[in-house]
Amino acid sequence: MENLIALGEKYVMNTYKRLPHVLVKGSGSYVWDSEGRKFLDFVSGIAVNSLGHCPQVVTEAIKEQAEKLIHCSNLYWIEPQIKLAKLLVEKSCCDKAFFCNSGTEANEAAIKLARKWGQGRYEIISMEKSFHGRTLGSLAATGQAKYQEAFKPLPAGFKYVPFNDLEALEAAITPETCAVMLECIQGEGGVNVPEPGYLEGVQEICRKNNLLLILDEVQTGLGRTGKAFAYQHFNLSPDIITLAKALGGGVPIGAMLAKDEVAKAFQPGDHAATFGGNPLATAAALAACSVLLDEEFIVEVAKKGEYLKGELEKLKAEFPQIIKVKGLGLMVGCELNTDALPIVESCMQKGVLINAVGGNILRFVPALTVTKAEIDQLVSTLKEALSESGK
């Protein structure tokens, strides 16, 4: 393992702070490292492995498709792409899908579509503490200076207002504004849940000012929050929805969905992605989504999310380090009054993978197939880690 890590440090670009384990295999909620150590995985590739590791329905679909057609150009029709678009449209309030390869690319597509629809209006208002990706357009939409500083100048036309502040949003609108873009629950920004009525208020402001409502559901989408799409917890009908992460069951794929009225602004030549929606990725995504968007499956996610939050609330009553338990469905955060990293490392030593956002927030995004026993394992490990870190 040490040799491999040394090779990695020599040859792989230094863009991640990696933990010192080489992961070699996964099954369900578990992964194994190259030394044979088994870990319960509550990171799930950061909300990607929603069906767990190597779900049979996805691996079978990949194998089958790989023997038929792996890639062909979007100059031709591709059956699994059409079927996937139909499924996503039927389960959402949108009418058309565009496929790409990642969350940031889905947001780039949304930004371009909003600008084209805006016919000269180009400004997009997003939220402080948001996260929309690392390519320059999505980075410009991301309301966190720490990600932007070293890469200026960023594309113009982006403004940020505080999440949960409708007055600030209204005040930021100018004749150039074409859209408001936000996450229903801010993921990387700290698992921040909106106040009651806030998202409906944002929609009302959009309607009143003829602005598009773009919801970034890259992290919250496809069952994660206990609904097919997080917006369905609220009285919302977004104009554009972006997806990635869980969409492909682990295979890279992103999507931008839009209502017809908006989608028609794009004409051939306006936007494209060579690999976007290719047969292999869309076959995997179709298989993954056939489970992820199943209503009974999603009901179970909501129940398990409530159970996880309830157990964390019990820990909160016992450990003053926990100041807040927050989230929806199986997208859950635990805000601490101390640095979260030592707790993450301690849990890892005890065989459980979790991660931290915003410095002091533990984030739990397990496979949506997680069992009650696995949730209990997480909670007892966390309890041990918190006890050791001092009551």
Ligand X SMILES: Cc1ncc(COP(=O)(O)O)c(C=O)c1O
CB of 121 or CB of 227, closer to ligand X: 227
- For residue 226, the minimal CB distance to ligand X (Å) is 17
CB of 183 or CB of 374, closer to ligand X: 183
Cα separation, 57 vs 209, whole angstroms:
45
- For residue 175, the minimal CB distance to ligand X (Å) is 28
Cis-peptide, bond into residue 20, ω within 30° of zero: no
Kind and range of the H or E run holding 106: helix 103-118
- Strand segments (E) across 281-357: 322-328, 331-336, 352-353, 355-357
Q: Are 321 and 337 within 8 A, CB to CB?
A: yes
Q: Is 216 labeled as catalytic in the residue annotation?
A: yes
Tokens of 360: 């002091």
Give contact residues for ligand X (rule: CB under 6 A). 46, 102-104, 107, 131-133, 183, 187-188, 216, 218-219, 244
- Strand segments (E) across the chain: 23-27, 30-33, 38-41, 96-100, 123-127, 158-161, 177-182, 212-216, 240-243, 254-258, 322-328, 331-336, 352-353, 355-357, 361-364
- For residue 19, the minimal CB distance to ligand X (Å) is 18
Per annotation, catalytic residue among 98, 163, 216, 266? 216
Q: Is 158 labeled as catalytic in the residue annotation?
A: no
CB of 216 or CB of 311, closer to ligand X: 216
Q: What is the C-alpha radius of gyration for the chain, rounded to an integer number of angstroms?
A: 21
In DSSP notation, 215-233 reads EE-TTTTTTTTSSSSGGGG
Per annotation, catalytic residue among 245, 259, 309, 316? 245
Across the beta sheet with 23-27, the strand order is 23-27, 30-33, 38-41, 352-353
Burial class (CB in 10 A: 0-12, 13-18, 19+), 177: buried
Tokens of 221: 């989408």
- For residue 189, the minimal CB distance to ligand X (Å) is 9
- For residue 209, the minimal CB distance to ligand X (Å) is 24
Question: CB neighbours of 83 closer than 8 A, spacing ≥ 6?
Answer: 282, 286
- For residue 77, the minimal CB distance to ligand X (Å) is 26
CB of 362 or CB of 385, closer to ligand X: 362
CB of 187 or CB of 276, closer to ligand X: 187
Strand partners of residue 54:
none
Q: Are 328 and 301 within 8 A, CB to CB?
A: no
- For residue 135, the minimal CB distance to ligand X (Å) is 8
Using Cβ positions, the residue closest to ligand X within the complex turns out to be 103
Per annotation, catalytic residue among 131, 229, 266, 364? 131
Q: Is 131 labeled as catalytic in the residue annotation?
A: yes
Q: Are 124 and 108 within 8 A, CB to CB?
A: no
Tokens of 127: 């939220």
Active-site residues, by number, are 131, 216, 245
